[in-house]
Amino acid sequence: MNDLKKISNVLWGLLLISLGIVIGLNTLGITHINIFFRGWWTLFIIVPCFIGMITSQNKTSDVVGFLIGVGLLLSAQGIVGFGTILKLLFPMILVVIGLSIIFKDTLNHKVKEEIKRLSKHDNGNPDYCATFGEQKVELDEDDFKGCNLDAIFGGVTLDLTDANIRKDALINACAVFGGIKIIVPKDVEVKVSSTPIFGGVSNNRHKNKTSDKIVVYVHATCIFGGVEIR
């Protein structure tokens, strides 16, 4: 279990403990905290997105969801009109996505440059696609150089556990209303560059600090979909 997952579990645990204490104290008459205030239901949007902003590697969708939840809460409280929230929603999403693209380009410059270099040599790489269905690919090739994965309203699983990866490789992954799972050998490092639009990449592998390890680069585009790496 990676560090981000542990942090997420701790935050959810503290939240449930706090909620239990408040309900218990209210039951005993010690406190009178109203947990069913106007717009309380927006917490089901705000809280998960807030935790995701802290623990997720790709925070764009969590930030958008958090802002939507806060906007709905303000509307339910009568602070801001619902019509105003709707008018501000689209420009707000554009701003968040734009900022995420700018900062990702800055922070992941080296990863993007290496992906660009590897992309020049991926013309012969195989394509695996699942549209309204599922596909599982198990590769044990002598020389895995990379591939392209597309999941459109479907799912693709790429298992590289027994693959012989002799040098750095590139996996282009595109998930549109679908999911992609990539399983890589333990002795291989994974580096990710992603464009998440109401989706994201979950990298469940421990970070490998050894500089001489072979690297599998994952270039992911997630539109209402997700990519899981383990």
And the tokens for 194?
């992603």
Q: Do 136 and 93 share a structural domain?
A: no
Q: To the nearest whole percent, how much of the chain has pLDDT over 70?
A: 88
What DSSP assignment string belongs to 87-150?
Answer: HHHHHHHHHHHHHHHHHHHHHTHHHHHHHHHHHTT-TT--EEEEESSEEEEE---SS--EEEEE
> Three-state DSSP class for 229?
strand
- Domain check: are 62 and 17 in the same one? yes
Its sign, for the CA torsion 8, 61, 128, 146, is: negative
Closest CA to 122 of 184, 170, 60: 170
Residues 69 and 156 in one domain: no
Residue pLDDT, tens place only, 118-158: 777 666 788 899 999 899 988 876 678 888 999 999 999 99
pLDDT at 70: 93
Residues 15 and 95 in one domain: yes
pLDDT for res 173? 92
Predicted model pTM: 0.57
208 and 178: one domain?
Answer: yes
pLDDT at 164: 83
Sign of CA dihedral 162, 5, 12, 56: negative
68 and 135 in a single domain? The answer is no
Question: Is residue 1 very low, low, confident or very high in pLDDT (cuts 50, 70, 90)?
Answer: very low
Average pLDDT over residues 188-200: 82
Same domain, 73 and 125: no
The arithmetic mean of pLDDT across residues 7-18, rounded, is: 86
Would you state the pLDDT for residue 155?
A: 93
- Average model confidence (pLDDT) across the chain: 84
| Residue that is last in its domain, among 81, 107, 133 | 107
Which residue range(s) make up the domain with 196? 110-229
pLDDT higher than threshold 60 for residue 226:
yes
Count of structural domains within the chain: 2
